[in-house]
Amino acid sequence: MGAKAKEKTVEQVGMKSAAKKKSAASGGPAVSGVISNEKLRQLYALMLKCRVTLSKGHAKDSSFAMGQEAVAAGMGMDLRAEDATGGAPEIGHAEKGPVLIAPASTTATQLIGAGVAMASRLAKSNSVVVTFCRGVGSQDVCAEAVAFAGVNEIPMVFVVMDDSGQCEGLGDATGICAIAQASGVPAITVDGNDVVAVYRVAQEAIGRARRGQGATVIDCKTYCLNAHGGVEAERQWKERDPILKMESYLTAKGLFSLAWKREMLAGFHLGCGPGC
């Protein structure tokens, strides 16, 4: 890989496009434009479970806020039991794992993750570390870990929860993406409220890491419910609600019903969720 990696924008690889996208960063195979109906339904189910978990207060030490479930589901769907994550206890889809290396409140989560990923590389393991950077306070640590990842080509994915377009002082990925490019780490921007788009990018980044091609930074442009802003902010959030967007998408494909949603909510044993 060269000294610099071009930032790649994939805003249109989600629900609006089924075109195949080739990995410019890794030179690897194209990410298939076809996602099975079963996988689409699984993505929705995992988002819904994350929403209910967050709304019921069962994920108090998490990187996510309500409205950011597309990032949690898209990144967590294909993680394996041997993989590790930092700051996201609710993203695991496997029955066992991924391993939680540190909660979101741990300042050095990204550095801990980099150490775990380095150990994985030295052991020639096939495991991957996914860590989340949220808010101004974590950016210096995250940037340091990204620079380390670039030098050592560790199997790690850095996910920046970029909600800077919503309120000042929240997460802004500009600095981290600049560090990534300077360190030879691909930086990818994606609509963080589009679970299909996030899933496609996650497949590519995690695949690169498993193939020994190093780390990736994913800049997820998100919009969360819990931000301050009043009635207008809530209205704007509802227009971007990833669960409602996915329900519309699945409905158009004949894959969604309210009865199915209610059945899932009952199975979560966490009480009822939105719109039920």
Domain ranges of the chain: 8-17+37-268
Q: Which CATH architecture is the domain 8-17+37-268 placed in?
A: 3-Layer(aba) Sandwich (3.40)
Indicate the average pLDDT of the chain: 77
Q: What is the pLDDT of residue 5?
A: 42
Residue 9, pLDDT above cutoff 60: no
Instruction: Report pLDDT digits (tens) over 111-133.
Output: 999 999 999 999 999 999 999 88
Q: How far apart are CA 276 and CA 272, in angstroms?
A: 7
**Cβ-proximal residues to 82 (8 Å cutoff; 6+ apart), any chain:** 97, 98, 99, 125, 126, 127
- In this prediction, residue 87 has a pLDDT band, given cuts at 50, 70 and 90, of low
The angle subtended at Cα 249 by Cα 164 and Cα 22, nearest 5°, is 70
Q: How far apart are CA 105 and CA 107, in angstroms?
A: 6
Q: What is the pLDDT of residue 197?
A: 96
- Tokens at residue 126, please? 């096939």
- The pTM of this model reads 0.80
Q: Which residue has the higher pLDDT, 229 or 254?
A: 254
Phi/psi-derived region of residue 246, left when phi > 0, alpha when psi is between -120 and 50, beta in every other case: alpha
- In this prediction, residue 162 has a pLDDT band, given cuts at 50, 70 and 90, of confident
Residue 31, pLDDT above cutoff 50: no
Residue 29, pLDDT above cutoff 50: no
User: How many angstroms separate the first and last alpha carbons of the chain?
Assistant: 49
Instruction: Report pLDDT digits (tens) over 33-53.
Output: 689 999 999 999 999 988 888
Q: What is the pLDDT of residue 257?
A: 97
- Of the candidates 146, 138, 130, 183, the one whose C-alpha atom is nearest the C-alpha of residue 4 is 183
Instruction: Report pLDDT digits (tens) over 229-251.
Output: 567 767 777 788 999 999 999 99
Is 212 in contact with 201 (CB distance < 8 Å)?
Answer: no
Q: What is the pLDDT of residue 2?
A: 42
Cβ atoms within 10 Å, residue 223: 23
